[in-house]
Amino acid sequence: FVDVKVNWAGFDKLEDEKGVIRQVLLLGYRSGFQVWDVEDADNVCDLVSRRDGPVSFMQMLPKPVAAKRSGDKFANNRPLLVVCSDGSLSVGARIQDHSCNGSIPHNNYSGNGSIVSAIVQFYSLRSQSYIHKLNFRSAVYSVRCSSRIVAIALATQIHCFDATTLEREYTILTNPIITASPGSGGVGYGPLAVGPRWLAYSGSPVVGSNCGRVCPQHLMPSASFPGFSSNGSLVAHYAKESSKQLASGIVTLGDIGYKKLSRYLPDSYNSVQSGSPGWKGNGNANGHFLDTDNIGMVIVRDIVSKVVIAQFRAHKSPISALCFDPSGTLLVTASVQGHNINVFKILPGLQGSTSAADVPASHSHLYRLQRGFTNAVIQDISFSDDSNWIMIS
C-alpha cells in the first residue's frame, strides 16, 4: 500500500477468543484495507492486509452478550470486522440483502443513469476471509456495532441486525441525514449512536410515548442566569445576544449581506446558512423531504424491548453526530452548524416496572460546550474510557 491514498482511518478495539482487548488501527484504501495492532507502541504489527476493492469505512464487531452466545452462528469466525464499500450499478441491476430475503427497495439515483449502492461485508480475522455479505440499493452512511446489534444507517432509515445471526430484526425510520454527498468524506459518520443497551438517532417523536422531554427553552439561559458560574460565561452570553441584535439590524443591507453575516450567528438563531452543504434550509436534505417541525429531535430506544426511552429536541438545526459514553447513560449531540455540543444525562425508569412506559425516563441537559460562532462540520464524537474527556473531530 505504498503511495496509496487513505480513504478512511480510525481506532477500534479487538477482543480475541480469550477476552483480551487490544487497540487496533483500521485503514481503508481505494484498493483494500489494513488492520494494525497498535496496543504496544514498540511492537506495531500488521494483522490484515487485503487488496480486493475500495473500502469506505470499517468497524470491529464486539463479542455478543453472554445470554446470546449459545445461538451465535459465527462463533467459530470471530473476531469479525465490518467492511463497508460504496459503488454504482446500472439501472435495473438486482441487488439482494442476503439476510433480509430480498432486495431493499430504496433507490438513490446518482443522476447519470446509475444507482448509488453499498456493500457491507463481515470479515473474519480468524479465517482471514469474508463470511457474510449485505447489499443495499442506496448509500450506507454509517455502521455502529454493539454486543447486541449491528445498526446500519441509510439516508432515511436504520436497519438493525442481530449481532449473533446477522439477520435483520427491525427497521427504524429517521430524519434525512444532513451531510455531503456519499464518498465526499462524510460517509462513516452521522446521527447514530449505539450503547450497551440503547440506540439514539434523529427522528420524529413517537406519538403516545410517556417518556419525558427536554424542550428547546431548557437549553437557553433564563433571565436571572442561574447557570452561569463566572463572569466569562456572562460575557459569552451577552456577546451572543449582541450578535442577534446586530443581525436583526442589518437586514436592510440586502439579502447578500445578510446571508454572509448570518453565518456568524449562534446555534440558537434561525440562520439562513448551514454548516453542511447537504442542507438547503428549504425543507430539502440531499433530495429527501425534511420535516421542519422535527429538526433537531433525538430519539433514544431500548435495543431489546424496542420501546422509546426518551425523546427531546437537542438542537434547533439538524443533528449531525451522536455518541454514547462507555456506560451508555451520557449522550453527546451536535448539529450541522457545529456551534455547540450538548451533553445529556439519560436514566431509565424505575426498576421492576411492568412496562418501560410506566415510568418516564429522566434526562437532563448537563453541559453546552461552545466550539465557536462560525459554522463547522462535526463528523465524529468519542469519549475516553473513563467518560471524563470528549473528543470532537
Tens digit of each residue's pLDDT (9 = 90 or more) over 264-294? 444 444 433 444 555 555 455 555 566 788 9
Phi, psi at 330, each rounded to 5°: -100, 130
Here the cell at position 220 is: 437557553
209 burial class (0-12, 13-18, 19+ CB within 10 angstroms)? middle
**Does pTM surpass 0.95?**
no
Q: Which of 135, 145, 139 is nearest to 186 (CA)?
A: 139
Q: Strand (E) positions, 255-357? A: 284-285, 288-289, 297-302, 308-313, 319-324, 330-335, 340-347
pLDDT, tens only, 211-261: 544 444 344 443 333 444 444 554 455 455 445 444 444 433 444 444 444
Which residues contact residue 214 at a Cβ distance below 8 angstroms, ignoring those fewer than 6 apart? 312, 313, 314, 344, 363, 364, 365
* Cis omega (within 30 of 0) for bond into 79: yes
Q: Answer yes or no: are the C-beta atoms of 390 and 344 closer than 8 Å.
A: no
Rounded to 10°, the helix 255-262/231-249 angle is 170
pLDDT, tens only, 6-63: 999 999 999 988 889 999 999 999 999 999 999 999 999 999 999 999 999 999 999 9
d(CA 237, CA 337): 18
d(CA 348, CA 351): 8
The confidence band for 90, taking pLDDT boundaries of 50, 70 and 90, is very low
Phi, psi at 233, each rounded to 5°: -65, -40
